[in-house]
Amino acid sequence: MSGTLDGRVVIVTGAGRGIGASVSRLFAEQGAKLVLNDLGANPDGTGGDEGPAREIADEITRAGGEAVSDGGDIADTATGKRLVDLAVSTYGKLDVVVNVAGILRDKMIFNLDDEDWDAVIRVHLRGHFSTIKPAAAYWREQRNPDGHFRIINFTSDSALQGSPGQPNYAAAKMGIIGLTASVANALGRYGVTANAIAPGAATRLTATIPQDKKLGGDRPAADDSRSPDNIAPIVTYLASEASDWLSGRTLGAAGYGVTLWNNPEVRASISSDGPWDLEDLAKQVESEFRPLADGLHPSIFMGQIPK
Ligand SMILES: NC(=O)c1ccc[n+]([C@@H]2O[C@H](COP(=O)([O-])OP(=O)(O)OC[C@H]3O[C@@H](n4cnc5c(N)ncnc54)[C@H](O)[C@@H]3O)[C@@H](O)[C@H]2O)c1
């Protein structure tokens, strides 16, 4: 049976649990050869255990697929380089990088410790940089503008809509959108696309969020709509050769739905003939921007209207 990812060589970070594990299973079913990384950390990033990475790789090989595992910390850039080298030494090439690894340390901004800021920024932003840099260097060397190479990153509605209790996470996840846009523009000429996914699924990570703060909820669903397995199909499409046309974009995936986000765009502009006069600036902002502001995409999270 042929699959949409037959023979494609893929790195997945955070592959041991949740969305990463679902993506890895479907990719294997669709014929991908996998390098699976997971630190086996607690939801807050502490601890480490090689078990989750090894277990998913074992499960896939037992089912007849191809997978090797790595239990390193993805925010250590040596890990990203090692994964790219492992893909090339094991399978002879690299086609796709899927950056799923993530942690949460939710606090309101006024209670957020430096350490909780740094840990979340480190795992998400450095964790993405860690794989993207060596993969990009490898693809640049291939000199193959028709290479169908892929970078698939993981962002969040927390960033897109400003989750009030997740300032560190929202900042990191918005950073991933900027990183995605930058590498999409930089690497298109080398046959690489880069896109970001904002998922919604019931996993160990969302189980740490208080019930009343959940987007869409982890309410016990009568069906399997909150399963992380529902995120894997759109990631599979993005990883396939068919998605050459799509780059620099953010997609949402939750339940049985997939959405296409717009990038931030200029909706109105005002100007002055010279340095701004404060009164003139205020007048123009009030007359030109204020009527539009209500109609803009709401930067509110789960209906929490800013006071
Ligand atoms: N589940 C959701 O609804 C949701 C919503 C928005 C964004 N996300 C994002 O999707 C991604 C997957 O989340 P999930 O819900 O499957 O969580 P999860 O906790 O089930 O899985 C995350 C995995 O990443 C691994 N990990 C953590 N730190 C690591 C590190 N430094 N190096 C390597 N591996 C590491 C963990 O061990 C874990 O197995 C994350 O980036 C998360 O921020 C999830």
Q: Is the pTM of this model over 0.85?
A: yes
- CA of 132 relative to ligand 1 center, distance in Å: 17
Determine the pLDDT at residue 123. Answer: 98
- Token code pair at residue 284: 């123009």
Q: Which domains does the chain have, with CATH numbers?
A: 9-265 (3.40.50.720)
Q: For the segment 138-158, what is each residue's pLDDT rounded down to a tens digit?
A: 999 999 999 999 999 999 999
Q: For the segment 85-121, what is each residue's pLDDT rounded down to a tens digit?
A: 999 999 999 999 999 999 999 999 999 999 999 999 9
pLDDT at position 301 over 70: no
Contacts of 300 (CB under 8 A, 6+ apart): 161, 162, 306
- CA of 74 relative to ligand 1 center, distance in Å: 12
Confirm if 60 and 68 have CB atoms less than 8 A apart: no
pLDDT at position 262 over 70: yes
pLDDT at position 212 over 70: no
Contacts of 51 (CB under 8 A, 6+ apart): 16, 40
Determine the pLDDT at residue 87. Answer: 98
Residue located nearest, by CA, to atom 25 of ligand 1: 14
Confidence of residue 300 (pLDDT cuts 50, 70, 90): low
Q: For the segment 51-72, what is each residue's pLDDT rounded down to a tens digit?
A: 999 999 999 999 999 999 999 9
- The string of DSSP letters for 25-88 reads HHHHHTT-EEEEE-----TTS----SHHHHHHHHHHHHTT-EEEEE---TTSHHHHHHHHHHHH
At position 234, the amino acid (one-letter code) is I
Q: Which of 36, 125, 203 to mutate to test the pocket of ligand 1 (most atoms within 8 A of CB)?
A: 203
Cα–Cα distance measured from residue 143 to residue 11, given in angstroms and rounded to the nearest whole number: 20
Cα dist from 119 to 75, 185, 295, whole Å: 10, 28, 36
pLDDT at position 304 over 90: no
Question: Which residues are catalytically annotated?
Answer: 156, 169, 173
- Which residue in this structure is represented by tokens 């080298």? 85
